[in-house]
Amino acid sequence: MKEQWEWRKQILSLGLFDLKKTSAGAVLGSFWFFAKPAVYIFCFWFALEVGLKSGNQTGSDVPYILWLMGGLIPWFYMQDILGAGIDVFKRYSYLVTKIKFPLPGIPTIYSISTMIIQAGLVAALLIVFFLCGQTADWYLLQIPVAMVLMFVFFDLFSLMTSCLSAISKDFKNLLQTLSTPLFWLSGVIFDVYSMGIPAIEAILMFNPVTFFVTMYRCAVYDKMWIWEKPEAIIGFVVVFILQLIATTIIYKRTHEEVADVL
């Protein structure tokens, strides 16, 4: 935290630069940041609500598209972290090998650029929310809180996994292999709380993806507070503490070797 605070201006500047660099060379520029999520959302909406009639099974007057977007939009951020975010030291290898830049700040660069895209997707979610005839309420305040928690959690996750990925390519391959199963087994496109299998529901409460998806849906669809589902909070807190401990241990043991390996 100390290193990141001292280098905060450089980290923010590099995060914004990374976003500009990604869209450089494209005529439509930043449009492509939102085109792919929009296509994904439409395809899932068509398959689940039009094809499988899942919207009729919720028993709610709130449009099903809000439930679906409440799960997919946070997943887009987490998917990026589980993709390029698990190996950012190689993505920004020049900061590791050629510049004296603090290692903990490098994952934050990618997290910032990815979170800016997430903020744009949240804005789109709110537009759909109001177009569906919903009115603003206090529950929407859970979204910025969820975004902050998601940023902190996955920034730590990116630091931990990048240290390990720099040491071993097998770890990177393992995480990339698990990305797709994580999507299908995390309640992104199904309701964890209506499974009717208590043991599995209890296990999924320790899945951070499930927690963030639940928090978004509490804000835009369920119209309730996340603390009304204490099992989700308990599971997330336990996982967050364990990850914080693991990240600290792994960073202390590997940060001096990362530059040499790269």
Contact 215, 207 (CB under 8 A): no
DSSP code, position 104: T
Give the model's pLDDT for residue 57: 58
Please report the pLDDT score of residue 1 as a whole number: 79
Whether this prediction's pTM lies above 0.95 is answered by no
Residue 21 forms part of a structural domain? no
Contact present, 71 and 189 (Cβ < 8 Å): yes
Q: Which residue has the higher pLDDT, 176 or 219?
A: 219
Tell me, yes or no, whether 124 lies in a domain: yes
- Name the residue type at position 25: G
Q: Determine, yes or no, domain membership for 138.
A: yes
| Range 171-183 average pLDDT | 83
pLDDT at 99: 78
- The answer to whether position 20 is within a domain reads no
Residue 23 in any domain: the answer is no
Residue 68 domain-assigned? Answer: yes
pLDDT at position 261 over 80: no
219 domain residue, yes or no: yes
19 found inside a domain: no
Domain count, the chain: 1
Could you tell me the residue range of the domain that residue 148 belongs to? 2-12+30-261
Percent of the chain topping pLDDT 90: 39
Neighbours of 113 (CB within 10 A): 20
Short-list 212, 187, 184, CA closest to 197: 187
Is a pLDDT exceeding 60 seen at residue 27? no
If you search the block for the tokens 């910025």, which residue do you land on? 144
